[in-house]
Amino acid sequence: MKIGLQASAMLLPLILLGGCNASQTATSNEAVANEAGANAAAGDEARSPEGKRYLNQPLVSEIFTADPSAHVFNGKLYVYPSHDIDAGIPDDDLGNQYAMKDYRVLSMDRPGGEVTIHPVAIDVSQIPWASKQTWAPDAAYKNGTYYLYMPARDKDDVFRIGVATSKSPTGPFVAEPMPIPGAYSIDPAVFTDDDNESYMFFGGIWGGQLQRWANGSYNAQGGDTDLKQDDKPALAPKIARMSADMKTFAEKPRDVQIVDAEGKPILGGDHERRFFEAAWMFKRDGKYYFTYSTGDTHYLAYAIGDNPYGPFTYTGRIMEPVQGWTTHHSIVKFEDKWWLFYHDTQLSNKNHLRSVKMTEMTFNPDGTIVPINPFKD
């Protein structure tokens, strides 16, 4: 990923992690997060390096979290984020600095309520096929079992997607011995429709390696960014219907087509509208909203279709660029309101040390989303 704000965070002595597990000693990464939170201006007075006021404050400051996947289980909100750490790796376009190695679940009884940071749900060492970089996850529930979908590099340095199960929404989760056959790249997002059929959306270019799968099999020489074909259809995210056991695909993955108002595919050179990563699907009033990140232009965008497979017509932006390089989100309805979960670098000013936030999302009468500015001014 490209380099954004590079203000330095002080390295601090180890401190005890509050609000999570009083008997557990925090790592240096968590200490940095704690200190950053303590030093930030309080509440609405917190300002960016450019002097802008943030629209929302981080859900937690004890650890760094990103890529939030939010779900409502048993009347509570659960957030499945990445757990950012500082591994001392410089920023690069392949995202090597994002060296996450475990997952921690957040939960709250209601929006604005107290947030609980749960113990480690699963560590990369407990995923038999994985070697490193447990990136943005997702979760699902079916028939008494919770499923955690996890992208990580395998032993050959290729991103795959695996699944782990638990009887609790917060884990611990037990991983399947092998990744999901036919799943690759990053950013799994599992959507369950009204008929109880579930679908996985996945994929991400650049560090997510989707461009290396352009011909259906992995090609290590497939490039580090995209297909470099600006006048041709952009690389498409993938969709596959899940099997009844939620652990495998019931079909071969197919492209998710994003088109313009005339029905023509969004082109590779259209960086303000083409898919980069962070697929997320939700359904409202019979319409399917495919949402995603545009990556190097830093927008959260959406397209609307009539079924889970699309095609999806590009409709607009959900959120303007946040502070930091990456933007990755989820959208969930809780009771009678819709909520956008996202992240930024407010507490660290470092691209790889991010903090999850949430804000209410509203709709116009025609079903379009009212765009959100992550700053108040």
What residues act catalytically? 67, 277
Q: What is the Cα–Cα distance from 327 to 299, expressed in whole angstroms?
A: 7
Residue 249 region by backbone torsions, left for phi larger than 0, else alpha for psi between -120 and 50, else beta: beta
Using an 8 Å Cβ cutoff, are 329 and 259 in contact? Answer: no
Q: Phi and psi for 181 in degrees, rounded to 5? A: -60, 130
Closest CA to 311 of 255, 233, 244, 231: 255
Q: Quickly list DSSP for 203-257.
A: --SGGG-GGGGTTSS--TTS-SS----TTSBPPPPEEEEBPTTSSSBSS--EE--
Alpha helices (runs of H) in the chain, residue ranges in sequence order: 28-39
Using an 8 Å Cβ cutoff, are 50 and 27 in contact? Answer: no
Report how far apart, in Å, the C-alpha atoms of 187 and of each of 18, 250, 268, 306, 332 are: 30, 19, 20, 23, 17
Q: What angle do CA 342, 206, 356 make, to 5 degrees?
A: 15
Q: Quickly list DSSP for 131-161.
A: EE-----EEEEETTEEEEEEEEEETTS-EEE
Closest CA to 321 of 267, 258, 272, 266: 272
Using an 8 Å Cβ cutoff, are 347 and 37 in contact? Answer: yes
Beta partners for residue 303, in sequence order: 290, 314
Using an 8 Å Cβ cutoff, are 297 and 346 in contact? Answer: no
| Residue 326 identity (one-letter amino acid) | T
How many secondary structure helices (H) and strands (E) does the chain include?
A: 1, 21
